[in-house]
Amino acid sequence: MLTPTKKLLLKAQAGNYAVGAFNINNMEIAHAIMEAAEREAAPVICQTSEGSLAYAGMDMLLAIGRQLAVASKIPISLHLDHGKHPEVVKEAIRAGYQSVMYDGSAHPFARNVEITSEVVKLAHQGGVSVEAELGALSGIEDFVTVRQRDAHLTNPLQAREFVKKTRCDFLAIAIGTSHGAYKFTGRSKLDLLRLKEIRSRVSVPLVLHGASSVPKSLVKQVEKFGGDLGKPMGVSDRDLRQAVKNGICKVNTDTDVRLAFTAGIRKILKREPDEFDPRKLLAPAYEEMVAVIRWKIKLLGSSNKA
């Protein structure tokens, strides 16, 4: 059942859990997200990045998402992830997404405020909510000094001013996570104190990007069947639980689903060299994706919250 993202996230905020937001590129991934959400009785967000739109097209991905939503009683919303070009964001608002992200985090503060405010005005006219971003996503270990760290991670006072000025509905913050599978060279480490300070100053739901866990079992399976991923490292379960406990209401996960997909594909290609039916080749990938999404939903505390 298509449901406004804002409704999902305000409920999560009140209930102190987070809704999983998973990226879709094709039908199999979207299907796996929906099956996992059904089995966990969990609300869920399906999101498309500008990259996935270039790959499959906005109309195609929206049609897949809508079809899955009408066939289910699970509350689900369709969200534009990392809209960096205002034209794409405007197109998504018109096309019928429940929410959009405008990511102006690469701009200086004033410019980010300016463009985000314009996007928010337009989106709200169409009944669409907006996620905005403040701060740069990079691992804490990338900063040598405290000053460097403060310059990149989200500043709590600026966050308050930003939300007040832009009237955005949700805020993505930088507290030490980064995109992809190689987030930390040592231990997983998030700036939870900073999160608490932001939470005390900002009332809108907070969003964590770059929050994949990179499960060791999936990495091992990829490697067992011929893959070579180097030394990937994700956010620890403990850090993620603490982040949710301290106010994160939407957690973005893409890498874990990609790893699950790859682990499933590698396994069947190696084990059944004579198989060439795409449906059979994709079946194990599907099962791996459902499993990792269910696990993630449980970790975020959103099981049985549908």
Active site (catalytic) residues: 81
| Residues 115 and 104: beta-carbon distance below 8 Å | yes
Min dist CB 122 to Zn ion, Å, is 22
Q: Which is nearer to Zn ion, 65 or 83 (CB)?
A: 83
Only one residue has tokens 């999983």, namely 20
Min dist CB 210 to Zn ion, Å, is 6
Q: From CA 121, how far away is CA 168, in angstroms rounded?
A: 9
What is the helix (H) or strand (E) element at residue 237, kind and residue range?
Answer: helix 237-245
Min dist CB 110 to Zn ion, Å, is 23
3-class state of residue 171 by DSSP: strand
Closest by Cα among 228, 212, 211, 209 to 220? 228
The amino acid occupying position 238 is R
Only segment of 8-16, 60-68, 202-210, 268-276 that touches Zn ion (CB under 5 A): 202-210
Q: From CA 94, how far away is CA 235, in angstroms rounded?
A: 35
Only segment of 156-164, 206-214, 227-235, 292-300 that touches Zn ion (CB under 5 A): 206-214
Only segment of 9-17, 201-209, 228-236, 289-297 that touches Zn ion (CB under 5 A): 201-209
Q: Which is nearer to Zn ion, 35 or 254 (CB)?
A: 254
Min dist CB 116 to Zn ion, Å, is 16
The amino acid occupying position 185 is T
Only segment of 147-155, 181-189, 203-211, 271-279 that touches Zn ion (CB under 5 A): 203-211
Q: Using the rule CB under 5 A, which residue among 6, 11, 90, 209 binds Zn ion?
A: 209
Q: Which is nearer to Zn ion, 79 or 209 (CB)?
A: 209
Only one residue has tokens 């905005």, namely 132
Closest by Cα among 125, 122, 134 to 89? 122
- What are the strands, taking DSSP E only, across the chain? 19-23, 44-48, 76-83, 99-102, 129-134, 170-173, 206-208, 248-253
Q: Which is nearer to Zn ion, 212 or 221 (CB)?
A: 212
Min dist CB 134 to Zn ion, Å, is 13
Q: Which is nearer to Zn ion, 172 or 299 (CB)?
A: 172
Q: From CA 22, how far away is CA 68, in angstroms rounded?
A: 14
The amino acid occupying position 76 is I
Map the footprint of Zn ion across residues 223-242, applying CB under 5 A.
none
Question: Quick check: 11 binds Zn ion (CB under 5 A)?
Answer: no
Min dist CB 168 to Zn ion, Å, is 15
Give the number of residues in contact with Zn ion, rule: CB under 5 A.
Answer: 1
For Zn ion, the nearest residue by Cβ is 209
Q: From CA 120, how far away is CA 204, in angstroms rounded?
A: 14
Q: Which is nearer to Zn ion, 90 or 209 (CB)?
A: 209
Q: Which residues bind Zn ion (CB under 5 A)?
A: 209
